[in-house]
Structure 1
Amino acid sequence: MKKNITIYDIAKEANVSPSTVSRVLTGNERVKPVTKQKVDAIIEKYNFRPNSLARSLLYKQSKMIGIILPDINHPFFSTLVQKSEAHALSLGYTSFLCNSMNDTDVESTYLQNLIDKQVDGILFLGGRINQVATDPKLAEEMNRIMDRVPVVFVNGEMAGVDAHVIQTDEKEGITNVIDLLHNLNHQRIAFLGGEQGVTSREVKVNAFKEALARHHLPIHEQWIMNEGFDIESGEELANHLLYLNEKPTAIVCVNDFVAIGVIKTLNKFGIRVPEDISVVGFDDIYLAKDFPPGITSVSQNYEELGKTAVDVLVKLINGESAKKKSTVPTKLQLRNSCQLAKREEVDKE
């Protein structure tokens, strides 16, 4: 049996042109049934599979996708990328991971590099697509990139950019958190963390206020604070909160890092979680389960989010239609950082 069979070998044995073999391999309907049957028989005879380079020329695809993310150290992004990359690999695609370090100039560099590497499509996370106010120049650049390859946004959008968007239902997640705290008799609830102008914070804050209003609970603006998305931000915000005369019985945090920082500071001042104050996080990163006392958190449903994003991107790569916006449900993970509000605290209201 021949080794390293090529489409030229198959064409010669079938007495057809190499382009005819290519059309058979790509499913082109212009090949006569009798010719197709003859070529298929020879392909089967040699168990022929085009190698990656030949396949990229044959199908005009590199079978590579790019993934741009803002911070590989953050568990939300690293977990989501892990799930996305694994699903892409199961579909025959390898991935280029590009960590932009929250720098839009670095994003621009990576976008061009991915085009130069002839990736078939790009998944874009964080950075410019999480800004409430879109930079017109960045939007223009994104549109130029999308003229070259399909791009799918994950948990973000840009004004003036008609991209396919895959998002988790963060509003639903916060609504479920407030429903939980309300059922636990909490009436004084704070929201800590995030940065103004970043959609992952603004969506949650708006949902937080809407949910409080729906339960006829007071909205204390002095308890809605932003500083950042890391553990240090949680520590700093908890410090500010403890200096106020009136304090909440429950704290909702923009993410689990902030929740960890909040719990660390509360513990430092002898305030017990959940006995004195209940704390809820968001994202359900791997640390949430094991950080004492175990943080109640909203799962971003990473596997479904990553799978949906990759599936939509592959559909676009293959020239198929795909839903313009897909929403993945979140799930509230109940742990030990929340409990019933103390009776005396409820009676204060």
Structure 2
Amino acid sequence: MRMEDIAKIANVSKAAVSLALNGKPGIGPETRDRILRIAKDSGYAARIKPAAPAKQAKTLLFLAFTNSGIVLEDFYQQPFFRELIQHTEERARSKGYSMLFSSVDMEFFERDIELVADENSGNGVILLGTNLTREQVATIAAKMPSIVVLDTLYETLPIHFVEINNIMGAHQAAVHLHDIGHREIGYVASSVRIHNFDSRKRGFKRALKELNLDLPDSRVFTVSPTVLSVQESFKEQLSAYKQASGGFPTALFCENDYIAISVMKTLAELGLNVPEDVSVIGFDNIRESIVVSPELTTIHVEKELLAITAVDLLVDSMSGDSRTSVKTVVDTLFTERLSCAAPAAVTPA
């Protein structure tokens, strides 16, 4: 019997028969078994070579816990996380690894962390820690020892962390607003509190204190961190502030770009122009920050560098024998665009 005959009986191509008989990759196990069975029945047994052992796939896992805080079920479509994931996958590929993605609903934390740990016992893990508490990170790391936590940091845990220098970024924003003449500066906070936002608030208040400015509670506003449209609650807060103080803050720092874009839309509904009436600064420098009008002044987060650092740290730790954990903080860059200007009272003629 010829190879063509085996191919016809097995309903495959002649090339597939050749791959099976020569033990080469390129066909599925079921197809290979069917071809070899037919070949043996036809007297080809002596000419069959054993299949080459499959190479161990090198895989990293990107793990997120969703529906808690700012990390939504479709977090991979949220601008900041979308860019972070893209850079992480590209870096893993350049290192010879494929990237698997897994998300767990926070409601099923205890149950599903066991399943994920069992299924990925041999894989290194990049954990998106944005919305996770210290206790949750510790629990996950105990079950997944080859791990790097991205986008948060808990100093007392002996785990690898890579995070943004949130304090520096917020400090840069406050200094800029002061330097261009603003004194009635407001702060727009997320209604959902995470490590990053708390650090940004500390950095902003620290800068104001150094500049002999204060941030009274009346100029701290609260909004949803994941809404790009007008927020009625923010309109009400601004209106109440105007009624109490006789005007609006001349500038607003927002804890992320989503909040900043929503703030600009809300200001427009109130008849206020950005930056002529109110300057606005965001944080993250997502791609959407240059689509809005005016383009958003923001704090640039080096998302690519965060991803590269996390992947490299994980790969190195998996291949080495060091028992010392590393905590890396990536600095921010102030990015000036068109949503900030000197307040009208001090604008040069």
Q: Which residue pairs with 2:62 in the alignment?
A: 67
Q: Residue 303 of structure 1 corresponds to which residue in structure 2? A: 304
Distance 2:110 2:271 in 1: 44
Which residue in 2 is equivalent to 1:240?
A: 237
1:160 CA displacement: 6.4
CA distance in 2, matches of 1:224, 1:344: 24
Q: Cα offset for 1:287?
A: 0.4
Question: Residues 173 and 159 from structure 1, CA distance in 2 versus in 1: closer, same or farther, beyond 3 angstroms?
Answer: closer
Q: Which residue of 2 aligns with 1:287?
A: 288
Please identify the structure whose Cα radius of gyration is greater.
2
- Counterparts of 2:238 and 2:114, CA distance in 1: 41
Structure 1: gaps (5+ residues): 7-49, 57-61
Report the counterpart of residue 154 of structure 1 in structure 2: 150
Compute the displacement of 1:300 (Å).
1.1
Residue 67 of structure 1 contacts residue 98 of structure 1 at CA under 8 Å; is this kept in 2? yes
The answer as to 2:55 corresponding to 1:55 is yes
Of 112, 115, 119, the match for 2:115: 112
Shift of 1:242: 3.0
Segment of structure 1 superposing worse, 105-114 or 218-227: 105-114
Q: Is the 8 A contact 1:238 1:262 kept in 2?
A: no
CA contact (8 A) 2:299 2:333 kept: yes
Whether the 8 Å CA contact 1:68–1:110 is kept in 2: the answer is no
After superposition, where does 1:1-349 map in structure 2 within 5 Å? 54-56=54-56, 62-69=57-64, 70=71, 71-100=75-104, 103=106, 105-106=108-109, 109=112, 112-126=115-129, 128-129=131-132, 131=133, 134-135=134-135, 138=136, 141-146=139-144, 149-158=145-154, 161-195=157-191, 197-231=193-227, 235=231, 236-244=233-241, 245-246=244-245, 247-321=248-322, 324-343=326-345
Identity of aligned residues (%): 25
Distance 1:107 1:123, change over 3 A: farther
Deviation at 1:298, TM superposition (A): 0.9
Whichever residue aligns with residue 105 of structure 1, its letter is F
Q: Is the 8 A contact 1:84 1:306 kept in 2?
A: yes
* TM-score, normalised by the number of residues in structure 2: 0.74
* Contact residue 130 and residue 194 of structure 2 kept, 8 A: no
CA 160–176 in structure 1, closer or farther in 2 if over 3 Å, else same: closer
Which ranges in structure 2 are unaligned for 5 or more consecutive residues?
A: 1-18, 26-50, 65-70
User: Residues 180 and 83 of structure 1: is their aligned pair in 2 closer, same or farther, counting only changes over 3 Å?
Assistant: same
Relative distance call for 1:121 and 1:238 in structure 2 (3 A) is: farther
CA contact (8 A) 2:192 2:225 kept: no
Q: For 1:257 and 1:128, locate their aligned partners in 2 and report how far apart those are by CA, in whole Å.
A: 16
Cα RMSD (Å) = 2.8
Q: Which runs of 4+ in 1 moved over 6 A?
A: none
After the TM superposition, which of the residue ranges 326-335 and 115-124 deviates more from structure 2? 115-124
CA contact (8 A) 2:117 2:143 kept: no
**1:194·1:201 contact (CA, 8 Å) conserved in 2?**
yes
